[in-house]
């Protein structure tokens, strides 16, 4: 038997209804904030991710699905969406001075990680990217939108972890402080961290190896907020002030750095208790140099990504009943000929917007009624020899329990009262 690859999953009904629900919530909430959908390809040139996410990050060093295509070009299945959106905006010349751009996207992402609950190799994100402003109002608005989206989907009580990496001067000062902290620990660090300490010291904080994690969770690990320039401090104060005004609760975590190199200033993560070890429901931040580094103008941006597998797990934890869409009508065939008559009637009803349950093979009335009941239909229509002779159908209102014979016109008026026929 051929099975799905490790770290990938089929999403089956009725779970697909929950997925449709969260995707619809994303569309509803993001569009209220003025974000429009963008769809970019699932694979890109490898270079795009190496340059944007950073060549010493875990994602680029260990987790990308990279392969040569038939012409020997290096291709990568997208591990995230931000780089793809920036590439698309540059390619289609969407950036312009003074212009705000707001995009959202939903789709599969790929990272070669060790699969466990809430962590897959093909997973799904819904994310947003906002370009064209350096204002801290934008950071706060995007964080608030993330929280409102999660609430709208049914996840409450999330915790927003907030931090800032500051501007270039702040980050240089922080790197120096972290380097000084790391130096005496160097011999105890894993090989990767020893290399990172030299090339990109911030990335030691992402290490998942327990002995390194222990060193980097010590209370004396430098805080990014200790080395902020006055301008960076002002930006951070602005973000917090607006979050307070919007009543978005947050916890400051001065050791949060997030595992992608493109961030500047604000970074944030949203966690949820139901997720266990993989507790980040989503995360994001500001990236003021990314567009420029990718060959575009100097344009600031801010965005986030939410993991949909994790959101669905959190919804289960929240005991939110998945939305149910029972069919409206079940058509019951009392003889073989009625099976075909029912298909014609179902066609009429479906064209008027009703959802209809029909059968292809004759079963006992009892078996057909059992299916209608378990589907939760509001109406049942019977057709058989007697009804045919009279040119009528028998209609049963499942809530009231009442049955009556009615003509086709009567049936359509009863079931589709607001339809103009």
Interface with ligand HAM by CB under 6 A: which residues?
Answer: 80-82, 111, 113, 118-120, 123, 125, 127, 129, 280-285, 303-305, 307, 309-310
Looking at the Cβ atoms of 63 and 341, the one nearer to ligand HAM is 63
Looking at the Cβ atoms of 250 and 304, the one nearer to ligand HAM is 304
* Minimum distance from residue 301 beta carbon to ligand HAM (Å): 8
* Minimum distance from residue 319 beta carbon to ligand HAM (Å): 21
Name the strand (E) or helix (H) holding 48: helix 46-53
Residue 122: name the closest of 133, 131, 109, 139 by CA: 109
CA distance 19 to 375: 20
CA 335 to chain centre: 48
* Minimum distance from residue 394 beta carbon to ligand HAM (Å): 51
Q: How far is CA 358 from CA 10, 333, 338, 369, in A?
A: 27, 8, 10, 11
Cβ density class 165-202: b for 16+ within 10 Å, e for less: bbbeebbebbeebbeebbeebeeebeebbbebbeeebb
Looking at the Cβ atoms of 111 and 171, the one nearer to ligand HAM is 111
Q: How far is CA 395 from CA 124, 308, 330, 398, in A?
A: 44, 42, 10, 9
CA distance 281 to 287: 20
* Minimum distance from residue 143 beta carbon to ligand HAM (Å): 11
* Minimum distance from residue 112 beta carbon to ligand HAM (Å): 9
* Minimum distance from residue 407 beta carbon to ligand HAM (Å): 55
Looking at the Cβ atoms of 310 and 394, the one nearer to ligand HAM is 310
Looking at the Cβ atoms of 173 and 260, the one nearer to ligand HAM is 260
Which residue's CB comes closest to ligand HAM? Answer: 307
Report the chain's C-alpha Rg in angstroms. 28
Looking at the Cβ atoms of 75 and 280, the one nearer to ligand HAM is 280
């Amino acid at each position: 038997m051929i099975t799905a690859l490790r770290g990938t999953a089929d999403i089956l009904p009725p779970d697909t209804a929950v997925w449709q629900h969260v995707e619809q919530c994303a569309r509803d909430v993001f569009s209220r904030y003025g974000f429009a959908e963008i769809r970019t390809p699932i694979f890109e040139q490898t270079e795009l991710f190496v340059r944007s996410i950073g060549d010493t990050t875990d994602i680029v060093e260990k987790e990308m699905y990279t392969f040569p295509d038939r012409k020997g070009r290096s291709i990568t299945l997208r591990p995230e969406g931000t780089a793809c959106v920036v590439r698309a905006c540059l390619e289609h010349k969407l950036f312009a001075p003074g212009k705000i751009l707001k995009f959202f996207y939903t789709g599969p992402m790929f990272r070669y990680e060790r699969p466990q609950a809430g962590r897959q190799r093909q997973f799904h994100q819904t994310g947003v990217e906002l370009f064209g402003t350096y204002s801290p109002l934008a950071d706060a608005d995007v964080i608030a939108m993330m929280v409102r989206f999660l609430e709208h989907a049914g996840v409450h009580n999330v915790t927003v972890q907030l931090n800032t990496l500051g501007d270039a001067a702040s980050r240089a000062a922080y790197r120096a402080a972290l380097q000084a902290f790391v130096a005496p620990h160097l011999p105890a660090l894993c090989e990767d961290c020893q290399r990172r300490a030299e090339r990109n010291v911030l990335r030691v904080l992402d290490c998942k190896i327990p002995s390194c994690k222990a060193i980097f969770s010590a209370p004396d690990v430098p805080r990014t907020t200790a080395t902020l320039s006055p301008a960076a401090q002002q930006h951070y104060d602005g973000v917090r002030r607006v979050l307070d005004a919007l009543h978005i609760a947050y916890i400051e975590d001065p050791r949060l750095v997030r595992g992608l190199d493109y961030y500047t200033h604000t970074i944030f993560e949203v966690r949820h208790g139901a997720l266990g070890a993989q507790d980040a429901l989503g995360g994001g931040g500001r990236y003021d140099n990314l567009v420029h580094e990718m060959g575009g103008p100097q344009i600031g941006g801010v965005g986030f990504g939410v993991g949909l597998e994790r959101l669905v797990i959190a919804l289960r934890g929240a005991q939110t009943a998945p939305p149910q869409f029972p069919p409206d009508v079940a058509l019951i065939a009392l003889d073989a000929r009625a099976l075909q008559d029912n298909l014609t009637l179902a066609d009429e009803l479906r064209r008027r917007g009703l959802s209809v349950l029909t059968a292809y093979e004759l079963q006992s009335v009892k078996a057909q009624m059992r299916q209608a009941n378990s589907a939760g239909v509001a109406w049942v229509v019977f057709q058989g020899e007697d009804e045919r002779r009279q040119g009528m159908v028998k209609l049963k209102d499942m809530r009231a329990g009442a049955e009556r014979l009615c003509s086709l016109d009567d049936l359509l008026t009863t079931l589709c009262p607001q339809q103009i026929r």
